[in-house]
Amino acid sequence: MTIMPLLLEGIFFIGCALHSYTDFKEMLLYDEVSLVMLLAGLCYNYLLADISWAIVGAVLVGAVFLALYFLCPEGVGQGDVKLAFVLGAWLGWQKGLLSLVLSLWLGLIVGGLLLMLKRKQGKEAIPFGPYMCLSGLIMLYYGEDVLQWYSSLF
């Protein structure tokens, strides 16, 4: 592997770290960070896979989250939708969609624990970006294994 894909993965990792920090701190996912991550994901797939795979992934995964945004606008923010486009560009549609399922489970588990431990109240907002970022990183590095395991369930 050449150095360029590693640098692009570093951009993805740093972007995820920034998004997680700002979402926990300010409940915001900055567009500039998502844009840099999106461009890095397109370059990454251009170098290592197929750029059309990244575009299809971005559109499909982003569209799923856009639909969630319109169905429950109080629970999903615009930053989450943009981050879903980023994850699709990096992971393609299969791993991208599975990443969203994983992030929903992570958010549900952590949110449930926070409610049980009385750290959050029932209607209090919980940032979702960090769980999307964590699931994106898991799927970037272990996506094939997770995809095979998930497929074996059916």
CA distance 124 to 5: 39
* Tens digit of pLDDT at every position of the chain (154 positions): 589 989 999 999 999 999 999 999 999 999 999 999 999 999 999 998 789 989 999 999 999 999 999 998 787 889 999 999 999 999 999 999 999 999 999 988 988 888 888 776 767 778 899 999 999 999 999 999 998 888 888 8
**What is the dihedral sign for C-alpha 120, 97, 133, 34?**
negative
pLDDT value of position 1: 57
pLDDT value of position 101: 93
The secondary structure of residue 60, as a DSSP letter, is: H
DSSP 8-27: HHHHHHHHHHHHHHHHHHHS
89 neighbors 57 (Cβ within 8 angstroms): yes
122 neighbors 111 (Cβ within 8 angstroms): no
Helix, strand, coil percent values for the chain (each to nearest 5): 80, 0, 20
**Residue 49: what are its φ and ψ, rounded to 5°?**
-135, -115
Q: Can you give the pTM of this predicted structure?
A: 0.89
